[in-house]
Structure 1
């Protein structure tokens, strides 16, 4: 394959990614499919003014200034537009930890901190990401 990377297509409910994945044409059935960004670490996310590489691993803080979790994966629409991230939440030292999807539209960059306008409890109640 010479330098090409295979991306695994992952389907998630549209309500988890909201309008960020709704740019596929009507009737395509692809509006709820996201792919993990695996080979484009230098891709710039203009809305946050940050690269994919810098976004991965960042800690996300909630509405009450509480630490919610760390960005694990960066997800994009099939056309390559970054749309969401996965966070590992809950648990202790990796035990009973769950992975959830957060739309990029819900995250803001406040200085060097990623801020989400949800509480830790709200995020932990989201469906688990099976990707």
Structure 2
């Protein structure tokens, strides 16, 4: 009984909403068009990166080994970013070790990381050569990656340390 009432209520709401959206506002011809004196300005930020896209960015070392990902960026009171909090190890956020590194020690790179490891299977084709999610199948070329200048964030960051060195750093804790 309750289910029939809910279904009837939803159907009635959908009918009323459809009628409301179908109505067109009436045009009045007795008013003059507004003058086009206001100018609109848009600000462009070509070459800038969005802070919201930096969270989750993969961090590699100089040997192109994935050592973690950026979890957070901490800034001072003037708004300058001072610290990058990097998550090392763990699986799906469980057991992850957070470390704080000076932001100026990170180097950001727009080009994808090239795979440099050797295959253990002599007949295997090389793995995908990018970290940007390019197609790895033979039906789509690897040129489907987005231009790094138009995606508003770098491909990855580089920090000169191994995964073990980061794990051995003091764990970062957010103080209350």
1:49 deviates by: 4.6
Q: Structure 1 stretch 83-92 or stretch 100-109: which is displaced more? A: 83-92
Structure with greater helix share of residues? 2
CA spacing shift, 1:49–1:125, aligned 2, 3 Å:
farther
TM-score (norm 1): 0.57
Match of 1:126 in 2: 169
Structure with greater strand share of residues? 1
Match of 1:35 in 2: none
CA spacing shift, 1:123–1:75, aligned 2, 3 Å:
same
1:107 deviates by: 0.6
CA spacing shift, 1:65–1:91, aligned 2, 3 Å:
same
Counterpart among 95, 116, 126 of residue 159 in structure 2: 116
1:64 deviates by: 2.1
Cα deviation code 1:94-123 (max 9, x no counterpart): 332111111111111121221111111111
CA spacing shift, 1:63–1:124, aligned 2, 3 Å:
farther
* Partner Cα separation in structure 2 for residue 102 and residue 123 of structure 1: 9
* Partner Cα separation in structure 2 for residue 110 and residue 74 of structure 1: 17
1:93 deviates by: 3.6
Aligned residues: 85
CA spacing shift, 1:121–1:49, aligned 2, 3 Å:
farther
CA RMSD of aligned residues (A): 2.0
Q: Which runs of 5+ in 1 are unaligned?
A: 1-43
* Partner Cα separation in structure 1 for residue 105 and residue 50 of structure 2: 17
CA spacing shift, 1:92–1:54, aligned 2, 3 Å:
closer
User: Are 1:85 and 2:84 matched, yes or no?
Assistant: yes
